[in-house]
């Protein structure tokens, strides 16, 4: 069987763990190849030629050589570094981790998703300047899940289509629901919460007045669709 040729791609590190004495397994979310499990050989040595670059919150240009189970990172160059205001701020750090973990859960191996990759880049840039990291995270979740086919109805009833605004949110039914359609376990929300979710889902600026309830509804929506859950969101809730 012929070996697959090496390839170059843009990538974000979404997860790492140590491997052997000096290597590290690096899970990459790439722009053109989806999720790629790779190994960075010798990266934990003090004289590693690219160890400091292969870390979260860095957009990389990587050269990868496919293997039977893991690709090998043979080159890694920094395209953009987003860690400056993230690593020293817990709220920004937690939001950034949740963005990367969510993206990994929405990605597949060998399936390119340029829109998702670009959404990560945009969200990490926004974390550098926005005062409410949670709204940045929620905007990313809503836009990324919509691109994945899990978009929410945030005005008309998601079940029967009755015109809104409504004051009930159901992750199971896909967004706002009228009182006639509300299932057990639904959330009572101010219609302005749903309006804020619509604004950030569509890339518009929004007030942080309802940020806490927006995040609660957005997190419930994501957790409904991702069976394994998102650990970073749980850490944020405990903080």
Per residue in 23-69, pLDDT (tens digit) is 889 999 999 999 999 998 877 776 767 767 888 899 999 999 988 88
* Distance (Å) of CA 124 to CA 34, 41, 79, 93, 167: 19, 27, 13, 10, 32
* pLDDT tops 90 at residue 212: yes
Instruction: State which residues form the domain around 48.
Output: 7-81
Please report whether residue 1 resides in a domain.
no
Beta pairing partners, 132? none
pLDDT tens for each residue of 157-195: 999 999 999 999 999 999 999 999 999 989 999 999 999
Q: What letter does residue 91 receive in the DSSP assignment?
A: H
Q: Tell me: the pLDDT tens digits for 53-111?
A: 888 899 999 999 988 889 999 999 999 999 888 988 999 999 999 999 999 999 887 78
Do 137 and 200 lie in one domain? The reply is: yes
Q: How far is CA 59 from the centre of its chain?
A: 14
Question: What is d(CA 142, CA 98) in angstroms, rounded to the nearest whole number?
Answer: 13
CATH of the domain at 47: 2.40.50.140
Q: What is the DSSP string of 154-196?
A: SSS-TTT---S--SEEETTTTEE--TTTPPTT-EE--HHHHHH
In a domain, 160, yes or no: yes
Q: How many independent structural domains does the chain possess?
A: 2
1 pLDDT tier (thresholds 50, 70, 90): very low
| Cα 99 to Cα 233: distance, rounded to the nearest angstrom | 9
């Amino acid at each position: 069987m012929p070996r697959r040729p090496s390839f170059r791609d843009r990538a974000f590190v979404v997860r790492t763990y140590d491997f052997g004495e000096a290597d590290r397994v690096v899970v990459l979310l790439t722009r053109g190849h989806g999720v790629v499990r790779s190994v960075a050989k010798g990266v934990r040595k003090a004289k590693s030629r690219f160890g400091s670059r292969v870390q979260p919150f860095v957009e990389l240009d990587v050269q990868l050589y496919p293997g039977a189970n893991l690709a090998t990172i043979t080159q890694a160059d920094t395209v953009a570094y987003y860690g400056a205001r993230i690593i020293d701020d817990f709220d920004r750090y937690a939001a950034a981790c949740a963005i990367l973990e969510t993206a990994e859960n929405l990605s597949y191996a060998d399936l390119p998703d340029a829109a998702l990759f670009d959404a990560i880049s945009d969200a990490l840039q926004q974390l550098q300047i926005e005062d409410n990291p949670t709204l940045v995270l929620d905007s990313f979740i809503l836009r990324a899940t919509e691109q994945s086919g899990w978009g929410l109805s945030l005005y008309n009833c998601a079940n029967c289509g009755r015109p809104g605004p409504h004051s009930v949110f159901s992750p199971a039914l896909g967004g706002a629901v009228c009182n006639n359609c509300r299932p057990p376990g639904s959330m009572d929300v101010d219609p302005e919460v749903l309006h804020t979710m619509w604004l950030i889902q569509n890339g518009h600026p929004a007030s942080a007045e309802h940020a806490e309830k927006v995040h609660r509804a957005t997190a419930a929506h994501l957790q409904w669709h991702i069976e394994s859950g998102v650990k970073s969101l749980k850490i944020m809730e405990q903080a």
